[in-house]
Chain A
Amino acid sequence: MSSLPTWTHEEIEARLTDYLEGLLQPEEQRAFDAHISNCEQCEPLLASVSHLLNDLHSMNEIEPPPRLIYAILDKTLGPRETVTGWRAAFAWLRALANPRVGYGFASVAATFLIVVSGSSFSWRKPRLADLKPAAIYRHADQQVHLVYARGTKFVSDLRVVYEIQSRLSQDDQQIPVQDRRPAPKGDPGQTDGTNPSSPKQQNRANGIDRNLQMLATDLQLFVERRIR
């Protein structure tokens, strides 16, 4: 086992930063440690520099005075034009030329329009009370319920139409072509004597026919109303 090289105070001082930043080779590290552990001069120096580094790294940046940026811009670009009067009121519009500001402004405006449109606010008769959050919520709640009710009715209407179609197609399939004849005239329960053993079936058939006619009329009215 080779003996450790002996370092002097000057060598320790010269390599202090390398030691603190972990840049020493293993052999050098051992020599450094060996000297430090037995040196009353270098050990406190290492402690104070190490302490100083912690303090330096924890120091916050100084905030420059806000006027500094304007002073620099004035010094480099020259004094900026001072806008007064009505032009000053619209000076902020220049910022919209910047795409970032423009997009942000457009999205805020779109959101505002959507919220206002969803509320009970009327552009023809504007009232400040309509813009209250409670009024907006109440109106939005009403709108949601209305849309839901309309949707439910529409689905129900569609169901009726499909039911009619399916019944018609079922009847077409069940009745053979040669048996198709005009419905007998008469009161419910009256038979034409062709099938006297099943008067209830005849009654049911007459009932379905009447229902179909009513549904067809309703459907026609419904379709006409939709078209209008």
Chain B
Amino acid sequence: MEQDAQLVQQCLQGDGSAWEELVRRHTRRIYNICYRFTGNGAEAEDLSQDVFLRVYKTLGSYRSAYGGFATWMTSVTRNLLIDHYRRTKRDRVTDSLDDAMPVVENKASSARRPDELALLGELSSQIQTALTKLSPELREAVILRDLQQLEYGEIQRTLAVPEGTVKSRINRGRIELARILQQMGVGPS
């Protein structure tokens, strides 16, 4: 993580290779967050590019005291994902997509290409479909905790909400996800 801070300093001094190194170090993680949130490869690619563009433009505002470059980047990613969700909200076919309960979206998951299906595997594909049916608040909490394996403190800093809220969202997200999977016929035998 100290290496990230050092690379950021080099970037700010105009070192293009340092920026390239930062991109190579974080692309995979950012792409995965975007993919898990949107459930769509093309959207995840576009959003990943937007994340790095915003990070590149606002690199001067990064402070290492914030909690690590990775956490800062995750926070930028999360903000962009929420913006994207709100922007595309009206385009989706839904009738109960309020910020409050119920937390389950009615929208069917976006169709996946065969290569994406092969990449994900059957079970992963079903979980991914179920994830996109969760409300954005619960979805991001579950993604950060259970797929990105972040600590509560990191999630708290990323989402900028109290730890109690983080725990509550993770708990509700897991329960809702389990129920959606059960409705889909996926669950413990």
Q: Determine whether the beta carbon of B146 is less than 8 Å from that of A57.
A: yes
Residues from chain A with a CB closer than 8 A to the CB of B56 are: 76
**Number of interface residues, chain A, beta carbon within 8 A:** 33
Q: Are A69 and B178 in contact (CB under 8 A)?
A: no
Interface of B is mostly: helix
Count the A-B residue pairs with Cβ separation under 8 angstroms: how many?
97
The distance from the CB of A11 to the nearest CB of chain B, in whole angstroms, is: 12
A17-B174, A64-B31, A75-B53 as given contacts; A52 in contact with B181, CB under 8 Å: yes
Q: Is the CB of B171 within 8 A of A14?
A: yes
Query: Would you give the shortest CB distance from B106 to chain A, in whole angstroms?
Result: 21
- CB-CB < 8 A to A115: which residues of B? none
Does A68 contact B174, Cβ atoms closer than 8 Å?
no
B127 touches A55 (CB 8 A): yes
Q: Contacts A16-B174, A45-B178: A60 and B124 contacting too (C-beta < 8 A)?
A: yes
Interface residues of B, Cβ cutoff 8 Å to A:
16-17, 19-20, 23-24, 27-28, 31-32, 35, 41, 45, 48-49, 52-53, 56, 119-120, 123-124, 127, 142, 146-147, 149, 167-168, 170-171, 174-175, 177-179, 181-182, 187-188
Question: Which residues does A use to contact B, with CB under 8 Å?
Answer: 13-18, 45, 47-53, 55-57, 59-65, 68-69, 71-73, 75-77, 98
Nearest CB in chain A to that of B29: its residue: A61
**Contact partners of B167 in chain A: CB under 8 A:** 17-18
Using Cβ atoms and an 8 Å threshold, which residues of chain A touch B35?
62
Q: Which residue of B lies closest to A23 (CB)?
A: B167
Give min CB distance, B135 to chain A, whole Å. 17
Q: Kindly state the separation between the CA atoms of A72 and B34 in the bound complex, as whole angstroms.
A: 15
